[in-house]
């Protein structure tokens, strides 16, 4: 892999409280390389206008660029066609779109929706809302205390299930779920499958045709791209059958006061002016990732995870939550009686950006009987020096509370 990737991220040269920034909050959001920043700035400075409805030069040119990012995204996920890529505001909006629109298409009173015990709130709450709306029931596939799903029990959860929605990688435990066999089993029972890929796409190669899922969703900002843009991949026939999520401009073929004809997917799901500049930024992020190569990145992060877990395990009083056999570089831990928020504050004073709290996954905290964890999560630009600073900051924290 290319070295000194950190040099491509201007923010990483900042000092925080007199210390070099050690950015280990990548599961919340990654920093942006110059390539993304410059692509967005260039767009705003030289190329900007609204898209899709202009006959003028700028509008036509930017529409082409926007459509090219759709094609790039389709290639990135190995989708069969760019028409299967819907741009959303992010993972949360994509899951809400599915819960509402796919829910309306598929769910009737007495039906079931299956999720897992390690979902982000974004893959829980929309389904609770949909279940209330359509009279369906929400089921939860349990996990063990290593943070591995009880896949041997999967079959016993499938009766009456219409929709199965699961995270590819847990944002708290790092577990890489064995989604391909689960999708295959669900599919054999006629169940529609959704994968929340928010924590996966920036860390391992994803091929939606190989996975054979019906939907796959992610956010731009966790993949070195900007906020306010996300992706919903959907099998075309399903996108075609689904009712629109929002109405407005851009999603129609014709409107009269009596009747509206909707545009075909993906535009049917992109009502209103889309996040144009952010989509351009997302395109640059995908190119940046492609240049590095996800297999290289996965190997780099796996090394960092093993090194960091070993170093943290050597310290007394560190409990790591999430010990799945297949794991991404997300390390949640606690320091005995030291409250994670106190630890996070002390670590911040040393220039460390880690996440403390429930990480939008309160049921996981409840499962382990803890209020919160400290989470260190790694990305392309992290290295062994970051791990050394993490370990030093943990020791400092422990010494202060000793
Ligand atoms: C971050 C995250 C989400 C929500 O993403 P937003 O960008 O906040 O919409 C959903 N699921 C997982 C697993 C996440 O990590």
Partners of 149 in the β-ladder: 143
Average pLDDT, the chain: 97
Q: Residues near 370 by Cβ (< 8 Å), separated by ≥ 6?
A: 321, 334
Q: What pTM was estimated for this model as a whole?
A: 0.98
**Distance from chain centroid for Cα 158:** 25
Strand, coil or helix: what is 250?
A: coil
- Residue 90 Cβ inside 6 Å of ligand 1? The answer reads yes
- Report the candidate in 379, 30, 90, 81 with the shortest Cα–Cα distance to residue 218: 90
> Per-residue confidence at 284, pLDDT binned at 50, 70, 90?
very high
**What is the domain partition of the chain in residue ranges?**
6-31+294-401, 37-291
Catalytic residue among 43, 131, 167, 360: 360
**Mutation test residue for ligand 1: of 88, 168, 222, the one with most atoms within 8 Å of CB:** 222
Say how far apart CA 368 and CA 366 lie, in whole Å. Answer: 5
CATH architecture of 37-291: 3-Layer(aba) Sandwich (3.40)
pLDDT digits (tens, 9 = 90+) for 298-348: 999 999 999 999 999 999 999 999 999 999 999 999 999 999 999 999 999
pLDDT at 3 over 70: no
Quote the pLDDT of residue 246.
96
CA 94 to ligand 1: nearest atom: 9
List of E strands, 170-275:
192-196, 215-219, 230-234, 252-255, 260-262
Say how far apart CA 329 and CA 339 lie, in whole Å. Answer: 23
- Residue 219 Cβ inside 6 Å of ligand 1? The answer reads yes
pLDDT digits (tens, 9 = 90+) for 80-112: 999 999 999 999 999 999 999 999 999 999 999
Quote the pLDDT of residue 54.
80
pLDDT digits (tens, 9 = 90+) for 224-267: 999 999 999 999 999 999 999 999 998 999 999 999 999 999 99
Say how far apart CA 63 and CA 246 lie, in whole Å. Answer: 21
- Residue 199 Cβ inside 6 Å of ligand 1? The answer reads yes
Say how far apart CA 56 and CA 29 lie, in whole Å. Answer: 36
- Report the candidate in 206, 155, 159 with the shortest Cα–Cα distance to residue 180: 206
From residue 276, give the alpha-carbon distance in Å to each of 70, 228, 297: 12, 10, 28
Active site residue 131: no
Say how far apart CA 20 and CA 29 lie, in whole Å. Answer: 19
Please state which of the four CATH numbers 3.30.70.270, 3.90.1150.10, 3.50.50.60, 3.30.470.20 is assigned to the domain occupying 6-31+294-401. Answer: 3.90.1150.10
pLDDT digits (tens, 9 = 90+) for 172-231: 999 999 999 999 999 999 999 999 999 999 999 999 999 999 999 999 999 999 999 999
- Residue 120 Cβ inside 6 Å of ligand 1? The answer reads yes
pLDDT at 2 over 90: no
Phi and psi at 137, nearest 5°, equal: -120, 140
> Per-residue confidence at 4, pLDDT binned at 50, 70, 90?
confident
Q: Do the Cβ atoms of 373 and 340 come closer than 8 Å? A: yes
What distance in angstroms lies between residue 122's CA and the mean position of ligand 1's atoms? 6
Say how far apart CA 20 and CA 83 lie, in whole Å. Answer: 44
pLDDT digits (tens, 9 = 90+) for 27-74: 999 999 999 999 999 999 999 999 997 899 999 999 999 999 999 999
- Residue 122 Cβ inside 6 Å of ligand 1? The answer reads yes
Strand, coil or helix: what is 327?
A: strand
């Amino acid at each position: 892999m290319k070295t000194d990737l950190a040099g491509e991220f201007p923010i990483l040269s900042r000092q925080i409280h007199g210390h070099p920034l050690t950015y280990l909050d990548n599961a919340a959001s990654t920093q942006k390389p110059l390539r993304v920043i410059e692509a967005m700035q260039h767009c705003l400075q030289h190329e900007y206008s609204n898209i899709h409805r202009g006959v003028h030069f700028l509008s036509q040119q930017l529409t082409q660029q926007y459509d090219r990012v759709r094609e790039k995204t389709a290639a990135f996920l190995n989708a069969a066609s760019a028409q299967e890529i819907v741009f959303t505001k992010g993972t949360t909006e994509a899951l809400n779109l599915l819960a509402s629109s796919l829910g309306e298409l598929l769910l009737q009173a007495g039906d079931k929706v299956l999720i897992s015990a390690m979902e982000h709130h974004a893959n829980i709450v929309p389904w609770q809302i949909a279940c209330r709306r359509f009279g369906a029931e929400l089921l939860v596939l349990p996990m063990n205390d290593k943070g591995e799903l009880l896949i041997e029990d999967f079959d016993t959860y499938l009766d009456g299930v219409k929709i199965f929605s699961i995270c590819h990688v847990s944002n708290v435990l790092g577990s890489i779920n064995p989604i391909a066999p689960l999708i295959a089993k669900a599919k054999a029972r006629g169940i529609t499958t959704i994968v929340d890929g928010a924590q996966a796409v920036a860390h391992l190669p994803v091929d939606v045709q190989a996975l054979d899922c019906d939907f796959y969703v992610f956010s731009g900002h966790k993949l070195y791209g900007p906020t306010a843009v996300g992706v919903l991949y959907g099998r075309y026939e399903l996108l075609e059958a689904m009712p629109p999520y929002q109405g407005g401009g851009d999603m129609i073929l014709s409107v009269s006061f009596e009747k509206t004809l909707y545009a075909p997917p993906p535009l049917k799901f992109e009502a209103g002016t889309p996040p144009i500049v952010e989509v351009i930024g997302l395109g640059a992020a995908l190119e940046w990732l492609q240049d590095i190569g996800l297999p290289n990145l996965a190997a780099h992060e796996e090394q960092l995870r093993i090194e960091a877990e070993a170093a943290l395990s050597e310290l007394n009083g560190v409990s790591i939550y999430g010990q799945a056999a297949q794991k991404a570089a997300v390390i949640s831990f606690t320091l005995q009686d030291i409250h994670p928020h106190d630890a996070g504050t002390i670590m911040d004073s040393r220039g460390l950006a880690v996440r403390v709290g429930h990480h939008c996954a309160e049921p996981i905290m409840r499962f382990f009987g803890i209020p919160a964890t400290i989470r260190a999560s790694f990305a392309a630009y992290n290295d062994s020096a970051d791990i050394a600073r993490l370990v030093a900051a943990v020791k400092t924290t422990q010494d202060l509370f000793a």
